Amino acid sequence: MALVNIQNLTYKYPLTKTPALQNINLQIEQGEFISVIGANGAGKSTLCYALAGFVPHFFKGEISGEIEVDGVASSKSTLDEWVVNVGLAFQNPFNQISGAKYTVFEEIAFGLENAGVPREQMQSRVEEAMKLTGISNLADRSPYSLSGGQQQRVALTSILVMQPKLLVLDEPTSQMDPIGTREVFSVIHNLTQSGMTVVMVEHKVEWIAHFATRVIALKDGSILTEGKPGDVLTSDVLTKNGFGVSRYTSVAREAKKQGLWKKEKLPVTLFEAAEGFNRNA
Amino acid sequence: MNININNLHFTYPTGLEALKGVSLTINAGEQVAIVGQNGAGKTTLVRHFNGLLKPTSGSVTIGDWDTTKYSVAKLASRVGYVFQNPDEQLFSRDVLTEVEFGPKNLGYTKEKIDELVKQALVWTELTDKTETNPYDLSPTWRKMVALASIIAMDTPIVIFDEPTTGQDFANVSRIANVIAELKKQGKTVITITHDIDFCAENFERVIALSNGQVLLDGTTREVLGQEEILAQTYVDPPQLTRLGKLLNLKETVINQQEFLKAIK
Ligand SMILES: Nc1ncnc2c1ncn2[C@@H]1O[C@H](COP(=O)(O)OP(=O)(O)OP(=O)(O)O)[C@@H](O)[C@H]1O
Ligand SMILES: Nc1ncnc2c1ncn2[C@@H]1O[C@H](COP(=O)(O)OP(=O)(O)O)[C@@H](O)[C@H]1O
Ligand SMILES: [Mg+2]
Ligand SMILES: [Mg+2]
């Protein structure tokens, strides 16, 4: 059975006319690394809220259809019950700092503390999680005197440390430096290898192509297309609908017109591009 | 109007030294990108240009003004700064009021204000959102409002702190377009960014900061070609530069046009 099962989900925020999500059907197996792409306003964050139970438990509005995680329907559960299984890193990390803690270490331990995790176990889990996201050196700093990218790493770490069954990340690397971004993708990938399930909203096509198992493209609240990264991210549907593609794809598309790319399939990663252009040589 | 930074050191009240001797000259009309690791000191550096921060030692001058001798309000006539986090910048009830605030404050004539505001709204495609409360917009559109409100001030120097963060393809193109328009007007544009492909396609000069110091400074091609040195500050070369390297192209290529020419 799929870990996540969304059936005919339609949702409208209060006082708005058009639904932010429209007739979404989606099954996600345990261990998948799903990447959600789409333009501003496509409904990416709303889908994250729905998975994390904030829609409809926090944002009111009209909802129809059903979201199940691990066989339990969101409509039949409270937000407190829901967050045990599902962790969400918000698009804006500034919204996530608890305001209750004086150091980064305590901030990251906050959720575990509330969950009643014993002291010794807490210490090692927090240290482990900080190592994964490269912020061990920030442990004693105040969560308020950090750079944007550092705050984003703290916000991500405070969700990772909870080890939820389903990890929902809304643009978690938007303010991170380039190599840090790649490392975070790689860390998330490793977590899915050991059984965690991840849904990650992202714009960084190169790393999506490299690490995700499936891509879901949203447009105007509906699923426009979905499938393997290599297929979706090179499809004409995306270009026609104004999605960004990797530079490897766009350069090969142009090269193909000039007879400089001989393969049928367009590349989406560095390796595929190098291989294709080399064969030409 | 040049920016002169001379042996700039800055220590936050917490005791953390974020800038450790930065010296740079940015000439009038240059398009400069600043890149580097999270926490490298990029935001701290540019906040000195409009006087939000004052040097612990060393100096920053904007034209003939030493920033320690002028207030933030005064410096605002020379330097516009779009915050990394728009929520620290926006305070008005609707988009139009927000965008009008800066130019009104600078005492421009009514006609000039109307013209500048209109242009800024068109460039950022906010014309249909003038009555909206910025807080009812998504974070990405709030950032566009923050951008519009600074461009409307018509300052000779404009600073963008991570303008493309979280933006979709359409908005990234709009921002690139704004930068090109400002360049045409002869303005200095300084942009902090982690989007190295965007950096390669829109800037002439790149400064890489690392741990409070300048690691590299030069033309976009010189700087973005240095893979090993850039890695010290967690920056990768652009996608097509990396591809060119893998294919053993003789020259460093930084954009599509150069790449296609090189493989012909
Ligand atoms: N208000 C503050 N008080 C104390 N230290 C701060 C403050 N703001 C930033 N710092 C520290 O100063 C250093 C430089 O931060 P800065 O914000 O300039 O980095 P940045 O290069 O802009 O990083 P990012 O890419 O993450 O935005 C970091 O170590 C940061 O933690
Ligand atoms: N809290 C809210 N109240 C009303 N409408 C909202 C709210 N949040 C988002 N929306 C609207 O829902 C749609 C989808 O937004 P969102 O999920 O934030 O998109 P994305 O994350 O893809 O940019 C947009 O039309 C947006 O304006
Ligand atoms: Mg969003
Ligand atoms: Mg910054």
Say if residue B50 is in the same domain as residue B119: no
* Mean confidence (pLDDT) of chain A: 94
Quick: pLDDT tens for A42-54.
Answer: 999 999 999 999 9
Say if residue B123 is in the same domain as residue B211: no
Sheet holding A62-69, edge to edge: A21-28, A4-12, A62-69, A72-73
Superfamily of domain A4-245: P-loop containing nucleotide triphosphate hydrolases (3.40.50.300)
Quick: pLDDT tens for B114-164.
Answer: 999 999 999 999 999 999 999 889 889 999 999 999 999 999 999 999 999
* Mean confidence (pLDDT) of chain B: 96
Query: Both tokens of residue A23?
Result: 């007739």
Q: What residues does ligand 2 touch, defined as CB less than 6 Å away?
A: A 13, 16, 20, 38, 40-46, 59; B 138
Residue of the CA atom closest to atom 18 of ligand 2? A45
Measuring CA to CA, which residue among B120, B26, B54, B56 is closest to residue B82? B120
**With 80 as the cut, is the pLDDT of residue A127 above it?**
yes
Say if residue B50 is in the same domain as residue B160: yes
- Residue A1 is predicted with a pLDDT of 82
Say if residue B134 is in the same domain as residue B166: no
- Residue B255 is predicted with a pLDDT of 95
- Residue from A9, A18, A45 whose mutation best tests the ligand 2 pocket (most atoms within 8 A of CB): A45
Task: Kindly report the pTM of this predicted structure.
Answer: 0.95
Residue B51 three-state SS: coil
Say if residue B49 is in the same domain as residue B99: no
Residue of B239, B246, B254 for testing the chain A interface, max A β-carbons within 10 Å: B239
* DSSP label at residue A280: H
Alpha helices by DSSP H, chain A: 44-51, 54-57, 79-82, 104-114, 119-132, 148-160, 178-193, 205-211, 229-232, 236-240, 247-257, 270-280
Residue numbers of the domain that contains B131: 93-151
Quick: pLDDT tens for A195-222.
Answer: 999 999 999 999 999 999 999 999 999 9
Q: Does the residue B199 lie in any domain?
A: yes
Q: Is B166 close to A206, i.e. CB distance below 8 A?
A: no
Residues on chain B touching A179 (C-beta within 8 angstroms): 231, 234-236
Would you list the domain boundaries of chain A?
4-245
- Residue A105 is predicted with a pLDDT of 96
Say if residue B137 is in the same domain as residue B205: no
Torsion of CA A217, A223, A229, A235, to 10 degrees: -80
Say if residue B67 is in the same domain as residue B169: yes
Distance in Å, alpha carbon of A229 to nearest chain B alpha carbon: 18
CA of A132 to the centre of ligand 1 (A): 21
Torsion of CA A198, A201, A206, A211, to 10 degrees: 0
Q: Do residues B76 and B105 touch, judged by C-beta distance below 8 A? A: yes
- Residue B247 is predicted with a pLDDT of 95
Length of chain B: 264
Q: Do residues A174 and B164 touch, judged by C-beta distance below 8 A? A: no
Say if residue B38 is in the same domain as residue B136: no
Question: With left for phi above 0 and alpha for psi between -120 and 50, is residue A74 left, alpha or beta?
Answer: alpha
- Residue B6 is predicted with a pLDDT of 98
Per-residue pLDDT averaged across B26-40, rounded?
98
Per mean pLDDT, which range of A186-200, B55-69, B125-139, B230-244 is the poorest?
B125-139
Say if residue B54 is in the same domain as residue B181: yes
Name the B residues in 92-131 with CB < 8 Å from any A CB: none
Q: Does the residue B264 lie in any domain?
A: no
Quick: pLDDT tens for A130-168.
Answer: 999 999 999 999 998 999 999 999 999 999 999 999 999
- Residue B256 is predicted with a pLDDT of 96
Query: Both tokens of residue B178?
Result: 């704004």
Per-residue pLDDT averaged across A182-201, rounded?
96
In DSSP terms, which residues pair with A83 in a beta bridge? none
Per-residue pLDDT averaged across B201-213, rounded?
97
> In three state form, how does the secondary structure of B198-256 look?
HHHHHCCEEEEEECCEEEEEEEHHHHHCCHHHHHCCCCCCCHHHHHHHHCCCCCCCCCH
- Residue A96 is predicted with a pLDDT of 80
**With 60 as the cut, is the pLDDT of residue A281 above it?**
no
- Residue A212 is predicted with a pLDDT of 97
Distance in Å, alpha carbon of A14 to nearest chain B alpha carbon: 13
Distance in Å, alpha carbon of A92 to nearest chain B alpha carbon: 8
**With 90 as the cut, is the pLDDT of residue A98 above it?**
no
Interface confidence (ipTM) of the complex: 0.94
- B8 vs A101, higher pLDDT: B8
Q: Do the strands B3-11 and B57-62 form a parallel or antiparallel pair, or are they unpaired?
A: antiparallel
Nearest to B260 among A246, A254, A273 (CB): A254
Residues on chain A touching B264 (C-beta within 8 angstroms): 260
What percentage of chain A exceeds 90 in pLDDT?
A: 87
Q: Does the residue B262 lie in any domain?
A: no
Q: Is B166 close to A91, i.e. CB distance below 8 A?
A: yes
Say if residue B128 is in the same domain as residue B197: no
Q: Does the residue B119 lie in any domain?
A: yes
Per-residue pLDDT averaged across B163-168, rounded?
93
Ligand closest to the CA atom of residue B42: 1
Nearest to A177 among B38, B166, B197 (CB): B38
Quick: pLDDT tens for B248-260.
Answer: 999 999 999 999 9
Q: Is B194 close to A176, i.e. CB distance below 8 A?
A: yes
Q: In chain B, how many domains are there?
A: 2
Per-residue pLDDT averaged across A226-240, rounded?
95
- C-alpha span between A4 and A28 (Å, rounded): 5
Per-residue pLDDT averaged across B167-194, rounded?
96
Residue A62 three-state SS: strand
**With 80 as the cut, is the pLDDT of residue A99 above it?**
no
**With 90 as the cut, is the pLDDT of residue A100 above it?**
no
Per-residue pLDDT averaged across A165-193, rounded?
96
- Residue B114 is predicted with a pLDDT of 97
